[in-house]
Amino acid sequence: MAKANKGRAPQGAGTIRKKTVTRKGKVYTFWEARITTGRNPGNGKQIQKSISGKTQKEVLQKMKQALAELDQGTYTEPSKLTISEWLNTWHSEYLTSVKENTRTSYRQHIDNHIVPALGAVKLSALSPDACQRFYNSLSRDKGLSPKTVKNIHGVLHEALKRAVRLGYIRSNPADSVDLPRIEKAKIEPLDAPEIKSLLNALDDGLYSTIIKVDLFTGLREGEILGLQWACVDFDKGTITIDKQLCRPRKKGEAYRLASVKNDKPRTIQPASFVMHLLKQQRKRQMEQRLLAGKLWNDNGIPDLVFTYDTGKYLCYSVILDHLRKALKAAGLPERRFHDLRHTYAVSSLQAGDDVKTVQENLGHHTAAFTLDQYGHVTDTMRQASAQRMDTYIAALK
């Protein structure tokens, strides 16, 4: 039950009412104003919006702001959705064109971090300050890395950006936050003596072949494990990289093939040494297939270049384990499999390949990214270039 008393508002402000409401035995008193925000396109009737607050002054300020926005054409009806409700809608309805792995990753960030902290907050009430406190707590209280915090911010920011475009909120509260600084990961490629030592420690087996091929192609781990024979052209001496083997994100899921990073297939022409290794692998696999007979099972991913001797795809952990054993046998410090890719990039640049060629071989989105990743190498190359020019100039005198 509610009682309404008209209160005299300051001149030019219109009428603001003081209301008293009884809910579950408790009495609440507040101030309310109503404004017309437009007309219903179906029946032409006015659409009115209530504005409430604890004091007459607060309601008057809110009403003036809303009227000014209506005059300027910038008024946005406050959304009744919570952050949790909007994120669920955004994830199910507006992420239909992204890769499945990306959708799964976004879902994990939403469920594990964003909703537990902000889920009950009204979408229209989320403030930049609340976003900042949320990101700070991820670093301070949960100990998440700067990169993970940035990824979580990316999910929330994209969802809020869509809400702005749809008119649910006027501006994106995640626009003006400060994120923790990401320290650039140290690149640890093998140098020429280390490459030689590693090659000497490798045999002619399957796993050694994978390591050798990656050393001289720079394929990402998922790309080399997802490489199919249809993409290897022995006549032209080329390899087309258009798929990657994706590991399961959830329990019960299986490995599967997906498009490459950046959705950017590429064709490379590696050294003849690499093509020779692939010919040896094809021969080995054909022999294994004959021996396996009916036991040969590709587990739904056919035509893979590198498989177990029964046809199944290889697991990431097995490849890394063999790399560690090979490095130990060579007397070298432990490296990530991804460091083989860095090794190829640095070796290519030092061998005289231009940055654009290296960028295309690696499948980087831009040459600028390649330069940023391996700037220390190109600095050395520039110094060597200057020295060669000095030698040339000296010969002219």
The mean pLDDT of the chain is 88
Length of the chain: 397
pLDDT: is 109 or 45 the higher one?
109
pLDDT tens, position by position, 297-309: 999 999 999 999 9
pLDDT: is 242 or 22 the higher one?
242
Helical (H) or strand (E) element with 237: none
pTM exceeds 0.85: no
Helix (H/G/I), strand (E/B), else coil: 233:
strand
For 357, list phi and psi in degrees, rounded to 5: -65, -45
Helical (H) or strand (E) element with 171: none
- Taking residues 263-269, report their average pLDDT: 91
At residue 9, the pLDDT reads 40
Q: Hey, what domains does the chain have and what are their CATH numbers?
A: 2-72 (no CATH), 83-165 (1.10.150.130), 192-384 (1.10.443.10)
Q: Are strands 16-23 and 26-39 parallel, antiparallel or unpaired?
A: antiparallel
Q: DSSP string of 79-105? A: P--BHHHHHHHHHHHS-TTS-HHHHHH
At residue 311, the pLDDT reads 95
Strands (E), the chain: 2-7, 16-23, 26-39, 46-53, 232-233, 238-241, 243-246, 256-259, 266-268
The answer to whether residues 31 and 50 touch, using CB atoms and an 8 Å cutoff, is no
> 207: pLDDT confidence band, cut at 50, 70 and 90?
very high
Distance between CA atoms of 271 and 343, rounded to whole angstroms? 15
pLDDT tens, position by position, 338-391: 999 999 999 998 888 888 999 999 999 888 888 888 877 766 677 777 887 888
Q: Are strands 46-53 and 232-233 parallel, antiparallel or unpaired?
A: unpaired
